[in-house]
C-alpha cells in the first residue's frame, strides 16, 4: 500500500495518479471527506486524517509499504512556524509507531540551512526530525513552485503589473511545476531497483531557470495582454504582505525567505543532491493557472 498525504493538492494528486497508472494500491489521505471524491474515482482508497493527531495518522498508515509525507505551512495560523512544527512532531510520532519501510518527505530547496531562510527552516526541521525514524528516507527538495504566481495573477491581469519580491528583476531563480514534483515523487517511491543511501536527497526544478522579467513576459504572451514586472521595494514588503492577509509572524517568514533567495542562499545543495528536471515549461504552467483563474471568476458570477 502506497500512502499519500496531502493527496488533494496538486503534488499529491499527481503522485496518486502516477501510482494508480502503475497498478499500485494507493491510500489517499485528505483532511475532509469531500476532497476524496476525485481520488476515489481513479481507484484510491480514501482516508481522512488530522495531521496534528498522531492516532489518526497511525490509522492512515496501516499496512503502508511506502509513504509520501507532506507538512504544509498553515497560512491562516497566528504562528505558522509553531503550528507546522507541531504537525511535523505528530507525523514523526505516527511514522515511528507505524514503521513503514520507505518514507518520502516533500521538502524544499535550502532545507540544509538551520536558520536565516524563513519558511525553509521549517523544512530543515522536518528533515532533521525524520532522520530519527527507522525507514529508508527520501528527501525530495523542490524549487519554488510555479503555481505560487496564482496569488498575484488577478492583479497582474487587471493592472498589467506583476509584483515581485525577487530582486533584481533579471535575477534567475529555480522553479518547478507542482505536477512535475508529484510525478517524480511517485517515481522515487516506486524505485526499488537498488539499495539507496538514507537519506536519499533529490532536487527537482524545471530545465530552465527564469527571472521575474521572464515570468511577466511569459504571462503577457499567454494572456495576450501587456504585463510588466514590478520590483516591490524591500521596505514595502511587510506592508504589502500584511495587506494580502498574512499575519505578523508569517510575514516575517516570507521576508526572511526572500532575503535569503535574493542573497543566493536558496539553491541546490549540489554536493549531496541528485538533480532531476521537470518537463513542464513556465508557459504551460501559467496557461493552466490562467484557466483556473478564469474558471473561478466565472463561477463567482
Does residue 273 have a pLDDT over 60?
Answer: yes
For residues 159 and 74, give the distance between their C-alpha atoms in angstroms, rounded to a whole number. 29
Q: What is the mean pLDDT of residues 165-181?
A: 97
Cβ within 8 Å of residue 4, ≥6 positions away: 12, 15, 16, 19, 26, 27, 28, 29, 44, 67, 68
188: nearest Cα among 1, 13, 7, 19: 19
Which of the residue ranges 61-75, 89-103, 282-296 would you say has the lowest mean pLDDT? 282-296
Which pLDDT does position 12 carry in this prediction?
Answer: 97
Tell whether the model's pLDDT for residue 295 goes beyond 80: no
Q: How far is CA 174 from CA 75, 151, 177, 189, 204, in A?
A: 23, 18, 11, 24, 9
Among 39-43, 98-102, 145-149, 290-294, the least confident range: 290-294
Q: Give residue 298's pLDDT.
A: 59
For the segment 279-283, the average pLDDT, to the nearest whole number, is: 96
- How buried is residue 273: exposed, middle or buried, by Cβ count under 10 Å (0-12/13-18/19+)? middle
pLDDT at 197 over 90: no
- Is the backbone peptide bond immediately before 265 cis, with ω within 30 degrees of 0? no
Among 201, 178, 194, residue whose Cα is nearest residue 270: 201
DSSP-derived 3-state class of residue 146: helix
pTM for the whole structure: 0.94
> Do the Cβ atoms of 109 and 255 come closer than 8 Å?
no
Instruction: Return mean pLDDT, the chain.
Output: 93
Give the residue-averaged pLDDT of 86-115. 96
Domain spanning 2-211+242-300 has what CATH number? Answer: 3.40.50.720
pLDDT on residue 74: 87
- Segment 10-18 mean pLDDT: 97
CB within 8 Å of 12: residues ≥ 6 apart: 4, 5, 6, 28, 68, 70, 182
C-alpha distances in angstroms, 299 versus 4, 159, 285, 292, 293? 30, 22, 21, 10, 10
Residues in CB range of 227: below 8 A, 6 or more apart:
156, 157, 160, 161, 162, 216, 217, 219, 220
**pLDDT score for 182:** 98
Task: Work out the percent of the chain whose per-residue pLDDT is above 70.
Answer: 96
Q: What is the pLDDT of residues 203-247, one digit of tens each?
A: 999 999 999 999 999 999 999 999 999 999 999 999 999 998 999
What does the pLDDT look like over 59-75, one tens digit per residue? 999 999 999 999 988 88
Using pLDDT thresholds of 50, 70 and 90, give the confidence band for residue 192.
Answer: confident
Q: What percent of the chain has pLDDT over 90?
A: 87
- Residue 148's pLDDT is 93
Decide if pLDDT at 296 tops 70.
no
What are φ and ψ of residue 47, in 5° steps? -125, 135
Is the pLDDT at 195 greater than 60? The verdict is no
* Helix intervals (H) in the chain: 10-21, 37-41, 54-60, 80-98, 120-130, 153-159, 178-190, 212-223, 237-243, 248-262, 282-300
Residue 264 has pLDDT above 90, yes or no: yes
**CA–CA dist 102, 28 (Å, integer):** 16
Dihedral angle, C-alpha 85, 91, 94, 99, nearest 10 °: -120
Amino acid at each position: 500500500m502506497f500512502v499519500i498525504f496531502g493527496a488533494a493538492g496538486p503534488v499529491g494528486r499527481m503522485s496518486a495518479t502516477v501510482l494508480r497508472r502503475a497498478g499500485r494500491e494507493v491510500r489517499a489521505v485528505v483532511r475532509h471527506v469531500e476532497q476524496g471524491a476525485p481520488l476515489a474515482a481513479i481507484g484510491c482508497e480514501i482516508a481522512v486524517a488530522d495531521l496534528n493527531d498522531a492516532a489518526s495518522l497511525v490509522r492512515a498508515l496501516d499496512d503502508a509499504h511506502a509513504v509520501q509525507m507532506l507538512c504544509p505551512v498553515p497560512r491562516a495560523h497566528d504562528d505558522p512556524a509553531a503550528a507546522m512544527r507541531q504537525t511535523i512532531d505528530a507525523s514523526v510520532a505516527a511514522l515511528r509507531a507505524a514503521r513503514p519501510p520507505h518514507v518520502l518527505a516533500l521538502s524544499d530547496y535550502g532545507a540544509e540551512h538551520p536558520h536565516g531562510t524563513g519558511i525553509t527552516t521549517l523544512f530543515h526541521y522536518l528533515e532533521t526530525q525524520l532522520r530519527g525514524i527507522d525507514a529508508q528516507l527520501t528527501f525530495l527538495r523542490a524549487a519554488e513552485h510555479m503555481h505560487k504566481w496564482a496569488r498575484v495573477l488577478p492583479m497582474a491581469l487587471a493592472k498589467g503589473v506583476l509584483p515581485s519580491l525577487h530582486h533584481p528583476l533579471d535575477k534567475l531563480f529555480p522553479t518547478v511545476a507542482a505536477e512535475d514534483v508529484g510525478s517524480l515523487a511517485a517515481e522515487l517511491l516506486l524505485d526499488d531497483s537498488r539499495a539507496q543511501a538514507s537519506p536519499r536527497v533529490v532536487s527537482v526544478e524545471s530545465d530552465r531557470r527564469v527571472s521575474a522579467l521572464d515570468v511577466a513576459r511569459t504571462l503577457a504572451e499567454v494572456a495576450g495582454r501587456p504585463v510588466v514586472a514590478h520590483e516591490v521595494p524591500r521596505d514595502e514588503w511587510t506592508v504589502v504582505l500584511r495587506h494580502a492577509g498574512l499575519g505578523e509572524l508569517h510575514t516575517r517568514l516570507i521576508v526572511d525567505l526572500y532575503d535569503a533567495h535574493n542573497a543566493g542562499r536558496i539553491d541546490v545543495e549540489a554536493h549531496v543532491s541528485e538533480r532531476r528536471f521537470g518537463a513542464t515549461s513556465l508557459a504551460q504552467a501559467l496557461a493552466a493557472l490562467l484557466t483556473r483563474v478564469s474558471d473561478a471568476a466565472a463561477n463567482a458570477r
